[in-house]
């Protein structure tokens, strides 16, 4: 019998990306797995969202309008109420400086696009 892992259905995951197609793809994947996805197109939107909720994970593109993913992550990690929320950067950037920036921003990990 294969290990199925823990049941994570119902976990809340805001996904931040300014490309609608990327949000649609992630929505299909996450919804199919039973996650509750919230879409946002900017760092400000996700900061506003987490102020009124407690998501289980944040998926955030690094290159988003206004407050970019690095700065948004830094702000989240700087607040007591949000510092323990893991963040993962799905990104098309593959430069070493981008990866180092995500680690310095204390995100949990990054994944390459396309997802």
CB 61 within 8 A of CB 18: yes
Is the pLDDT reported for residue 99 higher than 70? Answer: no
38 domain-assigned: yes
- Per-residue pLDDT band for 105 (boundaries 50, 70, 90) equals low
7 domain-assigned: no
Question: Per the structure, how many domains does the chain have?
Answer: 1
Residue 94 structural domain: 12-112
In tens, the pLDDT along 74-90 reads 899 889 999 889 888 87
Q: For residue 58, give the CATH number of its domain.
A: 3.40.50.2300
Tell me the pTM: 0.79
103 domain-assigned: yes
Is the pLDDT reported for residue 106 higher than 70? Answer: no
């Amino acid at each position: 019998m294969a290990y199925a892992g823990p049941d994570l259905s119902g976990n809340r995951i805001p996904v931040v990306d300014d490309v609608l197609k990327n949000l649609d793809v992630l929505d299909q994947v996450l919804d199919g797995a039973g996650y509750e996805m919230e879409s946002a197109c900017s760092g400000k939107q996700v900061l506003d969202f987490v102020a009124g909720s407690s998501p289980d994970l944040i998926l955030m593109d690094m290159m988003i309008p206004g407050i970019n993913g690095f700065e948004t992550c830094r702000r989240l990690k700087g607040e007591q109420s949000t510092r323990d929320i893991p963040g993962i950067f799905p990104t098309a950037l593959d430069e070493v400086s981008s990866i180092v920036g995500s680690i310095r921003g204390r995100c949990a990990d990054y994944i390459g696009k396309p997802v």
